[in-house]
Amino acid sequence: MKPTVAIVGAGSLATFLAVALKDASFTIAEIIARDSPRSRRRALALAARVGAQTVTAHSAALDATLLWFCVPDREIRGAASALAGHLSARAGAQKKNRVPTKVRFAFHSSGALLSRELEPLRKAGIAVASVHPLMTFVPGTRPSLTGVPFAMEGDRAATQIAQRIVSKLGGESFSIPAARKAAYHAWATMTSPLLLAFLVTLEEAANAAGFTRKDARRKSLPIMRQTLANYSRLGPASSFSGPLVRGDAETVAKHLAALKKRPGAREVYVALARAALRGLPVKNREGLSRLLRG
């Protein structure tokens, strides 16, 4: 059976996830928001889209099978503690009427933190897991979840139900050991946020050549798209081109000289060129290494 879901939070991830679950025929029972005007407004808008109730941690009915936390990392444990306290209070009141709590599972979607952030709920007998989609969610976009990897770590019962849900969403599940979660998230951060940091630096280098940032984006996209297509089909080594693969130290020296007035871009260029020497087929490795040390 498909679990009913209560979403904790109403930001970009919560909005995307709630709509995706609704589209996959999951019932969204509640959107649990902070007791602030801004949070309530966002929660009301999201609840209207998915047919849910808007509540706070203190007014939630908590009659869903699954609590899914989509709040900033620093707020996960506090939110879990608040809801665990609310569940405990409800359990005490319900005991007289012999009505058991329906909540059986709790997930959070932090890429860096472990399932133990939900320990207050685990102590209440709820199976917990961290379930992190390797995807970027920003306002104004709605990426497809088809084929998107979800990293999972936590209690067996929780990860099993998470695998079923992810499958219904079109994603793919994989387990990540607790000891490797931080390294996993470092990799994940490099795939999108730090990739954007590189692209901003690319615009800076283009500006040194006389192009506006807008022009740089437009003119760079065709070669970037082809590079990604090559990387996907051929792998990194067979996709590598340019002066480094030819061992052309003279051209690299000209690049470094041209970027002297753009130290940020030059620093990134050198760091990436050194990475190429470590992991890609490069000719004249010794000469290039000397040049990049200077």
Q: Is-contact 73 80, C-beta < 8 A?
A: no
* DSSP helix/strand/coil, 69: strand
Average pLDDT, the chain: 94
In this structure, the number of other CB atoms found within 10 A of the CB of residue 145 comes to: 20
Q: Is-contact 61 53, C-beta < 8 A?
A: yes
Q: pLDDT by residue (tens digit) across 1-56?
A: 789 999 999 999 999 999 999 999 999 999 999 989 999 999 999 999 999 999 99
| Phi, psi of 76, rounded to the nearest 5 degrees | -65, -50
Q: pTM score, two decimals?
A: 0.91
pLDDT tier, 90 (very low <50, low <70, confident <90, very high otherwise): confident
Specify the pairing of strand 127-133 against strand 149-154.
antiparallel
Which CATH number applies to 5-178?
3.40.50.720
pLDDT tier, 101 (very low <50, low <70, confident <90, very high otherwise): low
pLDDT tier, 99 (very low <50, low <70, confident <90, very high otherwise): very low
Q: Is-contact 66 106, C-beta < 8 A?
A: yes
pLDDT higher than 90, residue 188: yes
Q: Is-contact 154 175, C-beta < 8 A?
A: no
Question: What's the CA gap between 68 and 161, in Å, rounded?
Answer: 12
Write down the domain spans for the chain. Answer: 5-178, 193-293
Question: What's the CA gap between 129 and 223, in Å, rounded?
Answer: 40
Q: pLDDT by residue (tens digit) across 118-170?
A: 999 999 999 999 999 999 999 888 999 999 999 999 999 999 999 999 999 99
The encoded tokens of residue 33 equal 């928001």
| pLDDT for position 232 | 97
| pLDDT for position 98 | 45
Q: pLDDT by residue (tens digit) across 229-262?
A: 999 999 999 999 999 999 999 999 999 999 999 9
What distances in angstroms separate CA 128 from CA 107, 109, 132, 176, one per listed residue? 6, 11, 13, 15
